[in-house]
Structure 1
Amino acid sequence: MKGLILLFLFAAASAKLHYLSDEYIEEINGKQSSWVAGRNFPEDTPLEYIKGLLGVLEGDEAIELPRRVGIVPKGFEIPESFDSREAWPQCPTISEIRDQGSCGSCWAVGAVSVMSDRECIHNNDPNFRYSDEDLVSCCATCGMGCNGGWLKPSFNYWINHGIVSGGRFNSSEGCKPYSFYECEHHAEGERPPCEDILPTPACTSECIPEYGLGYEEDKRFGSHVYTFDKQEQDMQFDIMTNGPVEASFNVYNDFLSYKSGVYKHTSGILPLGGHAIRIIGWGVEGEEPYWLVANSWNYDWGDNGLFKILRGTNECGIEGNIVTGMPRALGRK
């Protein structure tokens, strides 16, 4: 109870400071030692823009997915640390940090990132990269495109409709490259500044002219989708066996300034919104167990585009909404 009272008092005091000010960052660092806060977004970044990046909508609780429980073999010991980048070095997408640009498409970016990783791991194809553009623009049941979406329908769409390939903005790679330019989610950098959240692009059933395959011919599919019941070891075993997973969590003011260490919610009474990310591994720093997570705000946000978040306590809901799936074997209908 005393800890809750102190957290409330700190949150009330912090509410008087601008959420991106140097004073607010200093206050975060003065109240805890688990992680380091620093300048990411420029101080004049509008709050509504940041909320727009947090594109996980509420309301998919009624969608039931198969839950994997008790999948760890008897006697198997989960390693203290694991990094998918090291386990599957032949898969370049695992090391990639995508940039959702000025679009609330984290739900789609996280999903296709996981699909791409698992396509490489299980179908031995390091060159196929699922298209963010195809999912965010064409999945009507997934949500509202750049104005947010859901994780579960994204993987169901992969199974039922398939998703084509696509590279980064202006890359001319794949069937449908991303149409949103990479922008500066950082106080200093060489990219153009981020704009207000942009409209969702129209869904098209065509590949770019320079691509060699047709839209339907290029599609690949998932075979099945599943989730977990907040079972840490089941999640770990699945990641080390099958590859990264998508998850969502609640973002508070303090997270915007994350730089390094193991993040724990320190400041902010109410969440700004839900954000989808990709869990690629885990470890222990000091005495803090953590999930190793890839964000979608490019490499110069946070810790080279990554962050660590406390593991095993459902910190900010990170273990309460994990969704993933397996790709359909190539050549199978």
Structure 2
Amino acid sequence: MMLLILLATFLTFTTNSLQLSTNYEDVNELINYINNLNTTWKAGKNSYTSEDIKVRLGALEEPDLVFLKHEIDENIEIPESFDAREEWPHCESIKEIRDQGSCGSCWALAVVEAISDRICIATKGQQQVEISAENLIACCDTCGMGCMGGWSFASWDFYVNTGYVTGGLYNSKKGCQPYSIAGCGSGPLPPCKKVLEPTPQCQHKCIDGYNMTYAEDKHYGKKSYGFSNDNKALQIDIMQNGPVVTSFTVYDDFAIYKSGVYQRTSGQVVGGHAVKVIGWGVENGVDYWIVANSWNTYWGDKGFFKIRRGTNECNFEID
């Protein structure tokens, strides 16, 4: 049984989804429109429409929260750029992009990804684990409604109070409870379904052939805490402890992001999305966050994206 010394989450609040239908011709028109603007980012075909991503946007609006205060050293100098992949190259989980499939489990994947990273960082690479998103969405009733959406902050509290087992990607057969929902939507993968996959059933056992029991495989956190509208504190925490989680409002143009620093250019609200923040930087004079998405490596910049920093783009930085 492993006790993680520290964990953190960065929470914002999102708007629930609106009905929106986008056909293929509209996507092409939107791509051309955005690229002709010569803005801070480039659009391209990701095999996604706003309908495809809508089933993946499961970050529900968080209730009013009082965060546990986390002491930081305000005298720490913040570098112009920081990338957790470069700071801790021995932690493979930081580089990994998961695929939530046709399930609104972004809130769960972002949390278990960050937990996996922080376990590796805290143990100086001695423990390289993939915490199970399957276990979270199936077994934490207080965290949300599985594939129908959930709350990141409650997921961190569940990590402290109940713990999670390990589990790798779909079909990986890694860990106690690997993800059971197939990827979709981009590259050679099949199209995403227009309806949500059913939430997996909670099981207090590991897959056949795993070398530990469910209880033996559990990982726990010591405490959870959060930041809201405090970018400096958040940056210091990332530098010291590793990636964090945030939620933001997604507009339909985000589905066709390819490169550069995303900022909303057009479109309507599609829903709320939770992601993992791994660093920051500056590109052509524009400050940005580096973010890992959960829509597989065929989407965006090999599964990652940059979003404008310091302007509360799409409610990324404020409650």
Per-residue deviation, 1:209: 1.3
Which one of the candidate residues 49, 52, 56 is aligned to 2:55? 52
Indicate the residue corresponding to 1:211 in structure 2. Answer: 210
Indicate the residue corresponding to 1:330 in structure 2. Answer: none
What amino acid is the match of 2:278?
A: I
Indicate the residue corresponding to 1:328 in structure 2. Answer: none
Number of residue-to-residue matches in the alignment:
297
Percent sequence identity is 50
Per-residue deviation, 1:190: 2.1
Per-residue deviation, 1:64: 2.4
Equivalences for residues 94-243 of structure 1 within 5 A? 94-124=94-124, 125-183=126-184, 185-186=185-186, 189-195=187-193, 196-243=195-242
- Do 1:84 and 1:243's aligned partners in 2 also have CA atoms closer than 8 Å? yes
SS at match of 2:219: coil
What amino acid is the match of 1:290?
A: Y
Distance 1:192 1:302 in 2: 17
Which one of the candidate residues 281, 287, 290 is aligned to 1:289? 287
Distance 1:26 1:111 in 2: 35
SS at match of 1:102: coil
Indicate the residue corresponding to 1:259 in structure 2. Answer: 258
- Do 1:91 and 1:126's aligned partners in 2 also have CA atoms closer than 8 Å? no
SS at match of 2:167: coil
Distance 1:180 1:103 in 2: 8
Distance 1:89 1:17 in 2: 41
Per-residue deviation, 1:97: 0.5
Per-residue deviation, 1:102: 1.2
Task: Give 5+ residue unaligned stretches, structure 2.
Answer: 1-20
Per-residue deviation, 1:194: 2.2
For the pair 1:36 / 2:37, whether they are aligned, the reply is no
Which one of the candidate residues 293, 307, 310 is aligned to 1:309? 307
Indicate the residue corresponding to 2:10 in structure 1. Answer: none
- Do 1:263 and 1:310's aligned partners in 2 also have CA atoms closer than 8 Å? yes
Which one of the candidate residues 276, 297, 314 is aligned to 1:299? 297
Equivalences for residues 64-83 of structure 1 within 5 A? 64-68=66-70, 71-74=72-75, 76-83=76-83
- Do 1:106 and 1:276's aligned partners in 2 also have CA atoms closer than 8 Å? yes
Query: In terms of Rg, which structure is larger?
Result: 1
Per-residue deviation, 1:217: 1.2
What amino acid is the match of 2:305?
A: F
Instruction: From the superposition, tell whether residues 37 and 215 of structure 1 become closer, same or farther in structure 2 (CA, over 3 Å).
Output: same
Distance 1:170 1:258 in 2: 28
SS at match of 1:225: coil
Indicate the residue corresponding to 1:279 in structure 2. Answer: 277
What amino acid is the match of 2:249?
A: N
Distance 1:163 1:16 in 2: 38
Distance 1:207 1:168 in 2: 15
Task: Give 5+ residue unaligned stretches, structure 1.
Answer: 1-14, 322-333
Deviation >3 Å, runs of 4+: 15-20
The alignment's C-alpha RMSD in Å is 1.9
- Do 1:20 and 1:41's aligned partners in 2 also have CA atoms closer than 8 Å? no
Per-residue deviation, 1:18: 6.7
- Do 2:116 and 2:128's aligned partners in 1 also have CA atoms closer than 8 Å? no
Say which is worse superposed, 60-69 or 220-229, in terms of deviation: 60-69
For the pair 1:22 / 2:28, whether they are aligned, the reply is yes
Per-residue deviation, 1:271: 1.6
Indicate the residue corresponding to 1:329 in structure 2. Answer: none
Per-residue deviation, 1:17: 8.4
Instruction: From the superposition, tell whether residues 168 and 16 of structure 1 become closer, same or farther in structure 2 (CA, over 3 Å).
Output: closer
Bigger relative contact order (CA 8 A; separation at least 6): 2
